[in-house]
Amino acid sequence: MPKYDIDVQLLGQDGNVFNLIGLVKKALRKHKVPQEEMDLFTEEVTSGDYSHALGVMMQWVNVE
């Protein structure tokens, strides 16, 4: 179960990791996630490789 019950369509999108991070951050902002949480997400998602980033995204939101 992800941290936030927010659905984000990543399948079929440009697979560039920065694009995917941007889509998740846009969804988090849309659902009024506090800036402190946004900063934490950014720190976590950028602290590893591509696979790590995908895993972090799946821990935070519902990836579709």
Per-residue pLDDT of the chain (64 residues; tens, 9 = 90+): 999 999 999 999 999 999 999 999 999 999 999 999 999 999 999 999 999 999 999 999 999 9
Q: Which domain holds residue 58?
A: 7-63
What pLDDT, on the 0 to 100 scale, is given for residue 29? 98
- Tell me the C-alpha distance between 55 and 23, whole Å: 15
What are the Cα distances from residue 10, in Å, to 32, 34, 36? Answer: 20, 22, 24
Q: Is residue 13 part of a domain?
A: yes
Q: How many domains are there within the chain?
A: 1
User: Does residue 41 fall inside a structural domain?
Assistant: yes
CA atoms of 21 and 48, how far apart (whole Å): 13
2 part of a folded domain: no
In a domain, 11, yes or no: yes
The CA distances from residue 20 to 41, 47, 62, in Å, are 13, 15, 13
pTM metric for this prediction: 0.95
In a domain, 42, yes or no: yes
